[in-house]
Amino acid sequence: MLLDKNLIKHFSDYLRLEQSLSDNTIEAYCHDAELLMEHLAESGHSLSVGDISHEDLENFFAELYDIGISASSQARILSGIKSLYKYFIQEKICDADPTQLVSFPTMGRHIPEVLSYEEIVSMIDCIDLSDRFGHRNKAIIEVMYGCGLRVSEVISLNISEIYAKDEFIKVFGKGSKERLIPIGKKTLNELMLYIQGERLHQEINPKFSDKVFISARGTSLTRQSVFLLVKSLAEKAGIKKTISPHTLRHSFATHLLEGGADLRAVQQMLGHSSITTTEIYTHVSDDYLRQTIMQYHPRWHSQNTSTN
């Protein structure tokens, strides 16, 4: 069964008649269901309820985080999605509840997981370039880390939006907001190596002829395929951190700020409407600086040693 407006209407009736919830709560929960439906549709995911996995939900909440939705608001939205799946199970619309594997966000300001430059290089080194999609996969990681793109921006990137001569790419972020992002020579080279090599040998659905990253079916990639790629490479590289495609975006921003980049410039490159969202990375950088001092400064090191 598809997650559509009709199913959400039935969910609304269930909340009103069987759960006796207030009108405000019903409206909020149905809005949460619509947000999930829109997220899945934008990612090109099947809207079949039975196909939605906990990874899909994790991606959904990662996207909410990325656009600045607070932890408390995320927790409330998760409550709505949990109620939705309670309804699905009761009505035998699906057998499994993927929300059971999704944790409520920690209240307070969450510091995103960040990879070191060495960890990112180790992930890239794990890519088998002899694989039929090796160069495509390498270009995906290079572009996500090199340009700080969201997953949705990666899979929707068009060839016509690559300005190789000027070393810029054009992306359309949340709300179809357009922005230009500088692309480094190394990242650009990897991107063009894929476009002018592997991609030329693929059979591509004409509808997706301008899309950069093409799936085995000749269509645009999905969020899920990028998510699985990142997780697989992290495992191969022996990285124990809990990461997702967003981790590469977080790492992009953090490494820029650690290198002395201006916060406003990082905000513009990330496409954040509010600088408050971007400021989370200054906290990551502060933590990085603290760890660096503790590790290398002789007075800090001696203090830590003496207390052990």
Give the residue numbers annotated as catalytic, written as ranges: 150, 174, 246, 249, 272, 281
**C-alpha dihedral, 168 to 228 to 272 to 184, nearest 10°:** -20
Tokens representing residue 88 in the block: 């699905």
Tokens 């009709």 -> residue: 6
What residues does 179 pair with on adjacent strands? 171
Question: Which of 191, 172, 190, 171 shows the shortest CA–CA distance to 181?
Answer: 171
Tokens 């191969």 -> residue: 236
End-to-end CA distance of the chain: 59
Tokens 């190394």 -> residue: 186
What residues does 211 pair with on adjacent strands? 158
Which strand (E) or helix (H) includes residue 179?
strand 178-182
Coil/strand/helix, residue 112: coil
Q: Are 146 and 186 in contact (CB under 8 A)?
A: yes
Separation of alpha carbons 149 and 270, rounded Å? 7
Residue 16 to residues 12, 168, 227, 228: CA-CA distances in angstroms?
A: 6, 51, 36, 38
The dihedral built from the CA positions of residue 94, 97, 99 and 101, taken in this order, carries a sign that is negative
Separation of alpha carbons 302 and 305, rounded Å? 5
